[in-house]
Structure 1
Amino acid sequence: MKFLSKKGITLRFSISVLVISAVVLTMIIEIISAIQVNRSSLISSYLQNNDQYARKLAANTGNLLTTMRQNLIAITAILKRGSYSNSALLDDLFQENRQYFNSIFIANEDRVIQATSPNTSGVHQGDKLTSEVSKRAIKAKAPFISEPYLSKSGRYIILVSAPIFNSKGVYKGFVGGTIYLEEKNVLNTLLEEHFFGNGSYVFVVEKTGHIIFHPDKNRVGQAVSKNHVVQKVLKGNYGSERVTNSKQHDFFAGYAFDPISSWGIVAQTPVSVIDGPLSDLIRRMLSQSMIFLIPILLVGWWMASRIAKPLHMLANYSEEATINLDKSRELPEIRSSYYEVRLLYRSVRIAFQNLNEDMNQLRDEVHIDGLTGLSNRKAFDKVMDKWINKHVPYSLVLLDIDHFKQVNDTYGHLIGDEVLRFLSRLMEEVSGEDSHVFRYGGEEFAILVKHEETSHALRTAERVRKILAATVSPTGEAITISAGIATFPDHALDAHELIRQADRALYQSKLDGRNRTTVSDGD
């Protein structure tokens, strides 16, 4: 049996494709599920790790700055016992603190340098400090950590200072320790330990949103206050989230705030770091799945052949029998272990016996309006002719929705369709057992009321009209109808004339102001 015949796709081919599709789709779903689970796990892990890193580094940074400040306070205590301009003493103190500061200096209350170490710091004894930071240190008369600023020597630095008071408590100036942000300093000694080969790194921002530490030295001093995470951390928040940085790169970021310095610590890992493990996972799952794919396909092909063969025989018989309805032909003998095939085999004869009934049913369905579910114009003409031929007295009610074009223009054709269905249901509920409801065409409907008295049809039409006028339609407000009534045989003796009389009465209802019912006068 071929997979493809001249007349279309064979069942064997379809079943084989179905088996392959099921296996492949199952494999894809499993891979996607595994990827999603692992992706979520990796994301959660990186976010959690970076959050913990940032908190740890914030604590370490706070401890470091506390130690630096305490060392400067200890230096001021030593200076009380000696000369503030003793360069040799300051050199010794600097050597003990060089792991913390790039330079140390002593300034008096007039901001004049009394001593400095090392000599390469860029300022010298007798120089006067002019920076706003030095003025603030003098004014504070308390331990002080500055924001980054550009020094007289051209370095981008942070100043940590402690006030000097003599034995009588008189303020004499301050000791300043500097951190050169663009050179090797205590911060990058602490923070560079957390720079990983996968692209993860740590950066630090001070309270104005400027970077004071970054693995890329060119980034030091840049303003990043628009960064969403930076905004959060400088408000004193802690946490982790996925973020797009100022360079439009995606990261898993953890952040923590150091209250001692008012600095924000951000540890982040590029989102792309999870691509490698996920690619490895996909390769492993594909290689493992292929081991089972070929046996499953062979079994599927064998089952497809067994299922398709008897069905193919039945299909050929049905095709020949349909083409040659006047020629009888015995069904071929089919033996199958499948219940459905045996049942189908027994049902084929019954199916052809009932073919005529099915065709009649199809003819009936042709008389149904697709939008409203009511009988359509063909059914309407058929019923009228039948009743007239049998001399059955009845009335024809033609009704039309008032201003329906305005409904479509205002609310759209979809609401217009809902209005037509709404009216159809209402007419079916109100009309009664002796009435038949039809969609005549467009927004026009017809009701055939089997009764000798015109008044019976009038009551039916009026019930529909009044209920409709008092009911909220799909437009959100009530709609109205106009109706015309003509009766056989009182007003006409044939269908064409009866429709004309009812239509004239409907037109008169429109002329008289709509939302009313008019009975034909028979003229």
Structure 2
Amino acid sequence: MKPSKKGFKISFIISSVVLFSVLMTLLINSFVGYQAEKTSLYSTTQELNRIRSDELSRTTQTIILSMKQTVMASAQYFTKEHSSDEAAQEQLDFLMSTDNLFNSVALVDKSGSLRAISPRNSEIIGQKLTSQASRQALELQKPLMSEPYRAVTNRLIILVSHPVFDTNGSYNGFISGTIYLQEPNSLKKILGEQSAATNGSYYYVVDAAGNLIYHPDPERIGENVLANPIVQKIVAGGGGQGEVNNTKGVSYLVGYSTVPETGWGIVAQTPKQYVDQSTKRLITSMALYSLPFLIIVLALVLWLSHKLSQPLSRLAFIASGLNSADGRSKEIPQIDHWNYEANELYTAIAKAFHIMNKRTEELSFEAQTDPLTGLTNRRTMDAILGLWQAQSRSFCVIMLDLDHFKLVNDTYGHQVGDQVLQFTADIMLSEKREQDYCCRYGGEEFTMLLPDVTEEQAYLLAERIRTCIEGMDCPTGKRITLSLGIASYPNEVLSIQRLFKNADDALYQAKHNGRNQTVVYTNASELTITSS
């Protein structure tokens, strides 16, 4: 039996090792890339939805102001004109023909009886209105915008009203415009009829009580969705972005804004599942695009293995240890040999693994770092805390929160707001010790992890940061202040969750006491405070 050629065995070994190494690196890069891309897409989708909700909020604000100005102008007309019912009817008809903001307009006298309505409906003229919105308009005698309610026509409507006074200041009733929520209306015209988006995204509008007043599904208009956590934040006057499970149990990435004039909220959202699927498709595509190059490299290695002998044996031995325990490929040592092909093969493989290592390190850095400020992100912070807890290491936590940061965004825009966050992060980094960690906890809130320090030392560092920020002009051209809360571990604290609760309580106390100060949480459940 003819023995196997040594060249074939070397080829098999080299091909197997290179394949294993490349596949392992590809898997590592794919995993890290998937996590980084998913995090990036989550953040980008939330931000885009927030921008969209902000734009729709401004549009809706314009519509509402136009509605109120229209009924106010009509009320002023009826103040000056003592017209008959027919003349009043003609004026309302004229208003409807020149303005498409309302589905109908009506004039109601001070007893609550309907004097005129456009489009004309003789069957209800003279009837006394009994809805809560009508009674409220008559009782309060001031401009109002109602919550959704069922009218005498059984329509689900919103009423925009303005009182009518005569020239002597006597109350004569009110003029109102109505929006038929479940029929074509000005809101739908301006905000648009939503078609089924390929990614499942859509937006909706709720009033100040959490009732749906605009939704792509007409059957849901009028439904109360206050159980939705995002809607609860809107009702409380908030705006922003995040993740939520809606009242139907579906996970969404959302951006939301409020309409200042009415307290309405606009929510733009995208199914989280769609973003996950998009990330998987992207990583799969990357792997498929890499496959031909992998095949080419393996074919080249196999071909060269037939031409090499001892040089390739040495290179195969080195390649067998290309992967370390942590999954990162090692640097290939320099090989100087008389065989030109062996040297060329070394150069090609070394370069390929250098690029893969570099990309892996870049993706790993991106996965551990907040992209805006360059600080450690929340996930990495949790890992550090878990390690310190396992080591029974003592440390302090400083929670920092910019005072009135929402006003910065509202006044100067989110781009300047981002610059203020970067400004704050730079000061934190300049003041920390080498062994300390600065983390972005979320929004305008930051966290510092200080190992092996006393509360007094943590307090002094916190005060340096606070006074530094207070004494410098930030990117807005003005000064901004910072509130800080400090808690220590273990200090009788049994869990990291409780530690952060203590620090958060201290931060809340700093806010409650007037902001721009540092508060230290103590074991006696008392708070040590310093004023600015």
Q: TM-score, normalised by structure 2?
A: 0.52
1:33 Cα deviation (Å)? 3.3
- Give the conservation status (yes or no) of the 8 Å contact 2:212–2:221: yes
- 2:469 corresponding residue in structure 1: none
CA distance in 2 between partners of 1:283 and 1:152 (Å): 58
Q: Give the letter aligned to residue 230 of structure 2.
A: V
Name the structure 1 match of 2:212.
Answer: 211
Q: How do 1:229-378 residues align onto structure 2 when only pairs under 5 Å count?
A: 229-274=230-275, 277-298=278-299, 302=305
Cα displacement (A) at 1:281: 2.8
Q: Please give the alpha-carbon distance, in whole angstroms, between the structure 2 residues aligned to 1:180 and 1:119.
A: 16
Verify: 1:88 aligned to 2:90, yes or no.
yes
Give the secondary-structure state (helix, strand or coil) at the position aligned to 1:119: coil
Amino acid at match of 2:258: F
Per-residue deviation, 1:275: 5.1
Q: Secondary structure of the equivalent of 1:35?
A: helix
Counterpart in the other structure of 2:377: none
Q: Label 1:123 to 1:33 Cα distance change in 2 as closer, same or farther (>3 A).
A: farther
Could you say if the C-alpha distance between residues 134 and 297 of structure 1 is closer, same or farther in structure 2, counting changes exceeding 3 Å?
same
One-letter identity of the residue aligned with 1:44:
S
Larger Rg: 1
Q: Deviations over 1:279-332 (max 9, x none)?
A: 55335423332223234435666499869989xxxxxxxxxxxxxxxxxxxxxx
Q: What is the letter of the counterpart of residue 48 of structure 2? A: N
Q: Distance in 2 between the 1:93 and 1:298 partners?
A: 80
Instruction: Determine if contact 1:84/1:106 at 8 Å carries over to the other structure.
Output: no
- Does the 8 Å CA contact 2:11/2:301 hold for their aligned counterparts? no
The 1:12/1:123 distance shift into structure 2, 3 A limit, reads: farther
Q: Quote the Cα distance in structure 2 between the aligned partners of 1:259 and 1:19.
A: 62
1:58 CA displacement:
1.5
Which residue does 1:221 correspond to in 2?
222
**Residue identity matched to 2:35:** Q
| One-letter amino acid of the counterpart of residue 208, structure 2 | K
In structure 2, the CA distance between the partners of 1:84 and 1:46, relative to structure 1 (3 Å rule), is: farther
Q: Could you tell me how far 1:71 is from its partner in structure 2?
A: 0.6
State the shift of 1:175 in Å. 0.5
Against the structure 1 CA distance between its residues 2 and 237, is the aligned structure 2 distance closer, same or farther, given a 3 Å change threshold? Answer: farther
Change (3 A) 1:75 1:16: same
Say which is worse superposed, 286-295 or 198-207, in terms of deviation.
286-295
Secondary structure in 1 aligned to 2:125?
Answer: coil
For 1:305 and 1:218, locate their aligned partners in 2 and report how far apart those are by CA, in whole Å: 77
Aligned counterparts of 2:53 and 2:254: Cα–Cα separation in 1: 9
Q: Is 2:205 the partner of 1:201? A: no
Task: Measure the CA separation in 2 of the matches of 1:272 and 1:82.
Answer: 62
Paired position in structure 2 for 1:165 = 165
Does the CA contact (< 8 Å) of 1:192 and 1:202 recur in 2?
Answer: no
Q: Decide whether the 8 Å contact of 2:194 with 2:216 is kept in 1.
A: no
Matched, 1:186 2:186: yes
Partner Cα distance (1:139, 1:108) in 2: 12
In terms of mean alpha carbon deviation, does 84-93 or 215-224 score higher?
84-93
Q: 1:118 to 1:13 in 2, by over 3 A?
A: same
> Aligned letter for 1:132?
Q
Query: AA paired with 1:192?
Result: G
Q: Which is further off, 189-198 or 141-150? A: 189-198
After superposition, residues 114-125 of structure 1 pair within 5 angstroms as: 114-119=115-120, 124-125=124-125
Shift of 1:276: 6.1
Alpha-carbon distance between aligned partners in 2 of 1:246 and 1:14, rounded to the nearest angstrom: 58
- TM-score, normalised with respect to structure 1: 0.53
1:61 matched residue in structure 2: 60
- 1:89 partner letter: Q
Cα 1:133–1:2, aligned 2, differ >3 Å: closer, same or farther?
farther
Measured in 2, the distance between the counterparts of 1:79 and 1:262 equals 29
* Structure 1 ranges of 4+ moved more than 6 A: 10-15, 307-310
8 Å CA contact 2:110, 2:173 repeated in 1 = yes
Q: Does 1:32 align with 2:26?
A: no
CA shift for structure 1 position 67: 1.1
The within-5 A match list for 1:132-143 is 132-143=132-143
**Secondary structure of the equivalent of 2:225?**
coil
Residue aligned with 1:187, SS: helix
Which amino acid in structure 2 is aligned with residue 90 of structure 1? L
Following superposition, the deviation at residue 224 of structure 1 comes to 0.7
Q: Decide whether aligned partners of structure 1 residues 188 and 19 sit closer, same or farther in structure 2, where only a CA change above 3 A counts.
A: same
Q: 3-state SS of the aligned residue for 1:173?
A: strand
Distance 2:279 2:167 in 1: 68
> Which letter does structure 1 place at the counterpart of 2:207?
E
Counterpart in the other structure of 2:432:
none
**1:75 alignment partner, SS class:** helix
Distance 1:18 1:282 in 2: 24
Change (3 A) 1:84 1:143: farther
Q: Secondary structure at the match of 2:232?
A: helix
Residue 196 of structure 1, CA deviation? 6.8
Give the C-alpha shift of residue 21 in structure 1.
1.9
Partner of 2:468 in structure 1? none
User: Residues 69, 299 of structure 1: CA spacing in aligned structure 2 closer, same or farther, 3 A cutoff?
Assistant: same
Gaps of 5+ in 1: 4-9, 311-336, 338-523
Q: Is the 8 A contact 2:193 2:216 kept in 1?
A: no
Question: Residue deviations 1:349-384, cap 9 Å, x none?
Answer: xxxxxxxxxxxxxxxxxxxxxxxxxxxxxxxxxxxx
For 1:59-104, what per-residue CA distance to the aligned partner results, in whole angstroms no more than 9, with x for missing partners?
221221111111101111112214262312221122222x110111
Aligned counterparts of 2:233 and 2:4: Cα–Cα separation in 1 = 68
Provide the C-alpha distance between the structure 2 equivalents of 1:123 and 1:58, rounded to a whole number of angstroms.
38
CA distance in structure 2 between the partners assigned to 1:165 and 1:290 by the alignment = 79
Are the counterparts in 2 of residues 116 and 123 from structure 1 also a CA contact under 8 Å?
Answer: no
Given that 1:211 and 1:221 are in contact with CA atoms closer than 8 Å, whether structure 2 keeps it comes out as yes
Q: Structure 1 residue 259: deviation in Å?
A: 2.3
Instruction: Look up the SS of the partner of 1:254 in the other structure.
Output: strand
The amino acid of 2:223's aligned partner reads Q
CA shift digits 1:445-470 (9 cap, x unpaired): xxxxxxxxxxxxxxxxxxxxxxxxxx
SS in 1 for 2:85: coil
CA distance in 2: counterparts of 1:249 and 1:84, whole angstroms: 56
Q: What do the CA deviations read for 1:391-424 (whole angstroms, capped 9, x no partner)?
A: xxxxxxxxxxxxxxxxxxxxxxxxxxxxxxxxxx
Report the alpha carbon displacement of residue 229 of structure 1 after superposing the two structures with TM. 0.7
CA distance change for structure 1 residues 156 and 297 in 2, over 3 Å: closer, same or farther?
Answer: same
Using the alignment, how far apart are the partners of 2:29 and 2:84 within structure 1? 75
Contact 1:210-1:225 within 8 A present in 2 as well = yes
Deviation at 1:247, TM superposition (A): 1.3
CA distance in 2, matches of 1:157, 1:275: 39
For residues 309 and 130 of structure 1, do their structure 2 counterparts lie closer, same or farther at Cα, with a shift above 3 Å needed? closer
Secondary structure of 1:130's match?
A: coil
